[in-house]
Chains A and B, each alone.
Chain A
Amino acid sequence: MKLSLFLLCLFAGSAFGQLAWATTEQTFNSKPQDKEVVAKYKFTNNGTKPIKIQNVRTSCGCTTAALSKTDYAPGESGEIEARFTFSGRTGKQEKAIMVATSANPEQPTVLKLHVYIEETVKIEPEVVLWQVGEQPDPKVIHIAIANDASVKLVSVTSDNPAMKVKLTEVKPGKEYEAQITPESVGQPAAATLVIQTDYPPDNPQTKYAYARIK
């Protein structure tokens, strides 16, 4: 009897009148050419009363969540479509969609979207720096092409003739080193390194790295 009372108190808040979700967490691995992922979160009103979806919020402006209607009768199913636009993001991403319903407006359900966005061309470091007055020693930027990407590095050029760049292929077609050497570090200077690829063929991607004497 006491145990029943305990369990009743423990689960009373979550057992009744909630939406039942097929899954609250989804994981995607994006391909180099992808610009967004779309995830669908299906749910059913398993309760005995109608449920209204009052509010759907996302953790990032890069993610939108669409819902075809807001009111669901007992037994009725629906789905929320979350669209995450990459906009320059790379690596491991975690976005959240918060869904508040009339059944439990203060405790929204949190839907999670995990996406790994592969970096087609990885540049490390993105910036090389010299202090004014230090030795004008060369500095190296590593450029790596993702293993399954059919991307070729076409060229690496400097927009400042006083900062020369020399490109070396370390692993054919996959790894390169761009060595940047300033003529002098007597005064502040800047250069942008333009890293030209051949992919995608209709609008080849250009990446950038930066050199600064400060």
Chain B
Amino acid sequence: MGPTVRQASLILLAALVPASLTAAFHPRRPVWSQETLAPGEEMLPTVLAWGANALWVDARTADEYETEHVPGAISLNLENWDQLFPKFLDAWTREKKVVVYCSAATCELSREVAERLRKSGISSVYVLKGGWEAWKNRK
């Protein structure tokens, strides 16, 4: 092996270590595939296929909900839980799949609301991957 090849290999190896660490631990690392889903997450096409069986829950702020929301979605957030949760219960049935969304893939509100719903005893709760942005950009 010539010295040029050895040096090139060494540099590549040196670059590989931080790259691997970034890929494994960086909080905003890019997803390898759009199909990558966290536990409890669902992609928009799957949710759309559920049709009327899906109960949409908007976890964003009241102002954002008032401006625009998925048709038929119910507003439910942690700030106003006591006021909004009874309305959710009125709309919910055991057969429905609950789909929670917030503004974008990076927001946490949908995960927080989904977790609270599960803790309250509501089954079949999912988080929409990509949130409201995914809905707005649907084709």
Chain A interface residues (CB < 8 Å from chain B): 2, 5-6, 9-10, 13, 59-61, 87-89, 96, 98, 107-108, 110, 125-129, 131, 190, 192, 208, 210, 212, 214
Chain B interface residues (CB < 8 Å from chain A): 7, 10-11, 13-15, 17-18, 22, 26-28, 61, 78-79, 81-82, 85-86, 89-90, 93-94, 106-109, 112, 119-122
Shortest Cβ-Cβ A-B pairs, 10 listed? A9-B14, A126-B120, A88-B78, A125-B121, A87-B79, A60-B108, A127-B121, A110-B27, A127-B120, A10-B14
Q: Contacts of A210 on B, CB cut-off 8 Å?
A: 85-86, 89
* Cα separation A13 to B94 with both chains bound (whole Å): 53
* Cα separation A129 to B121 with both chains bound (whole Å): 9
Q: Contacts of A128 on B, CB cut-off 8 Å?
A: 121
Q: Contacts of B27 on A, CB cut-off 8 Å?
A: 96, 98, 110
Q: Contacts of A125 on B, CB cut-off 8 Å?
A: 120-121
Return the chain B residue nearest A11 by Cβ: B18
In the complex where A61-B109, A88-B81 touch, is A214 in contact with B119 (Cβ < 8 A)? no
Q: Contacts of B18 on A, CB cut-off 8 Å?
A: 10, 13
State whether A9 touches B15 (Cβ < 8 A): yes
- Apart from A98-B27, A127-B120: 16 A-B pairs, beta carbons within 8 A: A5-B14, A9-B10, A9-B14, A13-B18, A60-B107, A60-B108, A61-B107, A88-B81, A96-B27, A108-B28, A110-B27, A125-B120, A126-B119, A126-B121, A208-B82, A212-B89
State whether B10 touches A214 (Cβ < 8 A): no
State whether B13 touches A6 (Cβ < 8 A): yes
- Give the A-B pair count, Cβ closer than 8 A: 64
State whether A89 touches B121 (Cβ < 8 A): no
- Pick the contact of B61: A13, A61, A129 (CB < 8 A): A61
Main secondary structure of the interface of B (DSSP, over half): helix
* Cα separation A5 to B121 with both chains bound (whole Å): 58
Return the chain A residue nearest B94 by Cβ: A214
State whether B78 touches A127 (Cβ < 8 A): no
Q: Contacts of A96 on B, CB cut-off 8 Å?
A: 27
Return the chain A residue nearest B15 by Cβ: A9
Return the chain A residue nearest B26 by Cβ: A107
Return the chain B residue nearest A10 by Cβ: B14
Return the chain A residue nearest B83 by Cβ: A208
* Cα separation A98 to B139 with both chains bound (whole Å): 32
13 CB-based A-B contacts, threshold 8 Å: A5-B10, A6-B10, A61-B107, A88-B79, A89-B78, A107-B22, A126-B121, A127-B122, A190-B89, A190-B90, A208-B85, A210-B89, A214-B93
State whether B108 touches A59 (Cβ < 8 A): yes
B4 → chain A closest CB, angstroms: 14
Q: Contacts of B14 on A, CB cut-off 8 Å?
A: 5-6, 9-10
* Cα separation A210 to B90 with both chains bound (whole Å): 11
Q: Contacts of A212 on B, CB cut-off 8 Å?
A: 89
Q: Contacts of B22 on A, CB cut-off 8 Å?
A: 107
B48 → chain A closest CB, angstroms: 25
Return the chain B residue nearest A9 by Cβ: B14
Q: Contacts of B89 on A, CB cut-off 8 Å?
A: 127, 190, 210, 212
Q: Contacts of A214 on B, CB cut-off 8 Å?
A: 93-94
A9 → chain B closest CB, angstroms: 3
* Cα separation A98 to B27 with both chains bound (whole Å): 9
